[in-house]
Amino acid sequence: MQLKTTLALVAALAAQVAMCWSIPKGTAPGVYSVEVFDNGTEHHVFLSHLPNVTTTPRSGPRHISARFLPSRDTAGAPKDCKSRDDEPCPRHTECYLREGPAFISPDETDSANAGIDAQCGDGATVGHGKDLYSVDTCSVAYVCNMGGSRDWDGTCTAAERRKTSEMITKKCGAYIPGSSTQTRWMPPALDSKVEGTSRTYQMMYGYEAYCTSFGHDFCGRGADGHNG
């Protein structure tokens, strides 16, 4: 029994390791997709250059002491979420207070987010277990299909990215690294054996520092390639 338990733990750890990926060193600014095959091989694909973003003169982001910020918001989705099958529902928002610097560059973050917006538009498919990331210098924005009750493809949108960024800013502060996960309820599966059941999946959006050894936990699957 003990041997079986040990083997099961080893298999589980191996599966977790296989899902990890690193942004390759020297990655040029742009938008990329990434997935990890069963044998652990990473497959990164360049999708597009970053769009031109008009920047507004700023005085710079304000340093905010970590002791005044919550580390995580795990509030559940609103009770009426299941009635809105066509809209995402907030699941939780996280603040990465120790992910590198106290804040990330506003211009770089806006540019990286603009790359995600351009890729997702009014609706783009993100396959189950796949991630999209957008890099500009030392900031990375990302969107990942975290799956759910079934292994369905998901959809990302620019509007949802903007909404989640607002949630991160409200919870964490301006240009503080963080992520926000949204739960989507899809129409009942045609092959469902239980009438009225809905399939769900979760999409995570976020932005973090890319040039530090701390900015690594992109959707729980990423690992920073600069210092790892």
Encode pLDDT of 12-36 as tens digits: 333 333 356 778 878 899 999 998 7
| 83 in any annotated domain | yes
| 156 in any annotated domain | yes
| 60 in any annotated domain | no
Encode pLDDT of 61-78 as tens digits: 434 333 333 343 433 444
Report residue 55's pLDDT band, with 50, 70 and 90 as the boundaries. Answer: low
| Domain membership of residue 119 as a residue range | 2-52+68-223
Q: How many domains does the chain have?
A: 1
- Token pair in block for residue 128: 């189950």
- Phi, psi for 220 (deg, rounded to 5): 75, 0
| 58 in any annotated domain | no
| 59 in any annotated domain | no
| 177 in any annotated domain | yes
Report residue 114's pLDDT band, with 50, 70 and 90 as the boundaries. Answer: very high
Return the beta strands (E) in 51-130 as ranges: 72-73, 88-95, 124-126
Least confident range from 82-96, 176-190, 194-208: namely 82-96
* Angle, alpha carbons 99-103-104 (nearest 5°): 90
The residue written with tokens 């040029």 in the block is: 28
| 57 in any annotated domain | no
| 118 in any annotated domain | yes
| pTM exceeding 0.85 | no
Whether residue 219 is predicted with pLDDT greater than 70 in this model: the reply is yes
